[in-house]
Structure 1
Amino acid sequence: MIKIHNKIAALLLAMSFAITAHAQNTINNYKYVLVPERFDFLKTDDQYGLNMRTKLLLQQVGFTAFMTNEALPAEVAGNNKCNALKAEVVEKKKFLSTGLTLLLKDCQGTIVYKGEEGKSREKEWQAAYSEALTNAFTSLNAAQYKYEGTTAPQASQPMASAPPAPVAPAQPATVNESQDVLYAQANGNGYQLIDTTPKKVMTLLKTSQQDQFIANDGVSQGIVFRKNGEWFFEYYKDDKLVSRKLNIKF
């Protein structure tokens, strides 16, 4: 009887590894992910900054991510949508907690990847959704995504055309330096930046990357990161990338 149980356990473990490997190999076929302007459980576009944050978290994993309202490269524009996955975030109603799950679907609507549910017990909606979404990406980070240079089958093959020009990284439209000292106070999810008033001027949420945070100053949603020993806050305003230098003391 013990031998039978051992064989069943070994078989289930092998099946688990096979399923995980298959999912990882499948997402590795895709370079691009498209993020909608609004998820189904939200009432407004990019409510709580969740859609833009999903895009940033996908980029940190290694995908080339775009919002669906952005200009797309020729590889995924028009009839080439099957070259990209579509990101969806779904909410599971819970008592005294928030649960979010990341789905990546192909152009036929088939779920290619389903992550582990990310949970939060924060009471304030902004903090709860931010923490739950960050936790929802934990399993995708662990999958160690790496684009393998292959392309998923397309619904229809487009006519041959010249190879698209590489998409250049976005350049900041403006750079504003902030000389005011901002003091970082640690909390459960990252830090809050306090000025000398003292007044909270920005919230920083931890990511899987050191010295890189999801940031919200109450007006704009973006990222704060360190480059060459200096801190920068980058965000989009009127579809243009803005970079602001910060003086942060941790």
Structure 2
Amino acid sequence: MKRYVLVLLLFLSFSGYSQNSINNYKYVIVPEKFNFLKQNDQYSLNSLTKGLLEYKGFTVYFDNTELPGEVANNRCRALSADVLEKSGMFTTTLTLLLKDCKGNIVFKSKEGKSREKEYKVAYNMALRDAFTSLDKVSYADTASTNKPVQPIIATTASAATVAASTVPSKPTETVTNQPAGTLYAQAIANGYQLIDTTPKIVLTLLKTSAENYFIAGNATANGIVLKKNEDWFFEYYKDGKLISEKLLVKF
């Protein structure tokens, strides 16, 4: 009898865990400051956390901004993001946590690490390393209850009109910068780091499911690196302007 009770308890515990999945959530709330930092968005860690979660497919808000009604009226519809630091003399170590409204941990990443000496670079690289754990988790929002969209059969003319209306408008202004020098790609877990002749790490690239398309970032900007017409570009936004930096990269 005790054996059957034990089996039943184990089954219930596993069932409860499987139901508490990131797929049950559409929204994530990111604090404006993590506990181990002294300032809001210090080293751009909070902004980077928000951006990486959005890339994964979540709808993300800072906790100091106005929330949509369904979240404001019920915080249990959203996960809360947190980042923990593990002290070390020569290594920066960060772990990403996603918690439900009761404080239960729904997702915990691996320990992302960096041995860079400069704080901003080290924290950014360690956080990106921690986020690679999410690459191994399939995410699809199952919390939304929207009705399925009925297919629309359009004529050639109307289809062209719909297609034109759904294409996002281009930025009003794009600034293109020429390459400053040759960068050399050094393989790391899940991507590359681009170094100059100093040698100094100029940019970190993380692989995506698309060929010749990387999530990219350094101490001052976060964006993408992509290949266009046999040339590489680092693109990101600054003060509302799209900055496109041409790169000379040797892989």
Q: TM-score range by the shorter chain?
A: 0.5 to 0.7
Matching of residue 235 in structure 1 with residue 237 in structure 2: yes
Displacement after TM superposition at 1:181 (Å): 5.5
- Indicate the structure whose relative CO is greater, using CA pairs within 8 Å and at least 6 residues apart: 1
Sequence identity (%): 39
Equivalent-residue separation in structure 2 for 1:182 and 1:148 (angstroms): 46
Pairing 1:97-246 to 2, within 5 Å after superposition = 97-150=91-144, 172=171, 174-180=173-179, 182-187=181-186, 190-192=192-194, 203-209=202-208, 211-216=213-218, 220-226=220-226, 229=229, 231-237=233-239, 241-246=240-245
Matching of residue 89 in structure 1 with residue 83 in structure 2: yes
Displacement after TM superposition at 1:87 (Å): 0.6
Superposed CA RMSD in Å reads: 3.6
- Cα gap change, 1:92/1:199 in structure 2, threshold over 3 Å: closer, same or farther? closer
Equivalent-residue separation in structure 1 for 2:207 and 2:15 (angstroms): 24
Indicate the SS of the match to 1:37.
coil
* Matched-pair contact (CA < 8 Å) for 1:53–1:214: no
2:152 is matched with: none
Displacement after TM superposition at 1:91 (Å): 0.6
1:47 is matched with: 42
- Cα gap change, 1:115/1:231 in structure 2, threshold over 3 Å: closer, same or farther? same
The structure whose Rg is larger is 2
Equivalent-residue separation in structure 2 for 1:115 and 1:20 (angstroms): 20
Query: Residues 152-206 of structure 1: CA distance to partner in whole angstroms, max 9, x if unpaired?
Result: xxxxxxxxxxxxxxxx989746421224565333346534476xxx999993212
2:56 is matched with: 61
Q: Which sections of structure 2, spanning at least 5 residues, go unmatched?
A: 1-6, 146-166
Indicate the SS of the match to 1:42.
coil
Displacement after TM superposition at 1:36 (Å): 1.5
Equivalent-residue separation in structure 2 for 1:200 and 1:173 (angstroms): 36
TM-score, structure 2 normalization: 0.67
Indicate the SS of the match to 1:144.
coil
- Cα gap change, 1:94/1:200 in structure 2, threshold over 3 Å: closer, same or farther? closer
Equivalent-residue separation in structure 2 for 1:201 and 1:54 (angstroms): 24
How many equivalent pairs are there? 210
Equivalent-residue separation in structure 1 for 2:233 and 2:38 (angstroms): 34
Query: Residues 205-235 of structure 1: CA distance to partner in whole angstroms, max 9, x if unpaired?
Result: 122425223323x5x4221232755635223
**1:99 alignment partner AA:** T
Displacement after TM superposition at 1:146 (Å): 1.9
Equivalent-residue separation in structure 2 for 1:72 and 1:140 (angstroms): 24
Pairing 1:61-80 to 2, within 5 Å after superposition = 61-70=56-65, 72-76=67-71, 78-80=72-74
Query: Residues 120-173 of structure 1: CA distance to partner in whole angstroms, max 9, x if unpaired?
Result: 23333223222221221232221222222448xxxxxxxxxxxxxxxx989746
Query: Residues 84-136 of structure 1: CA distance to partner in whole angstroms, max 9, x if unpaired?
Result: 21110011112422221111112233322222222223333223222221221
Runs (4+) of structure 1 moved beyond 6 Å?
168-171, 198-202
2:18 is matched with: 22
* Matched-pair contact (CA < 8 Å) for 1:204–1:213: no
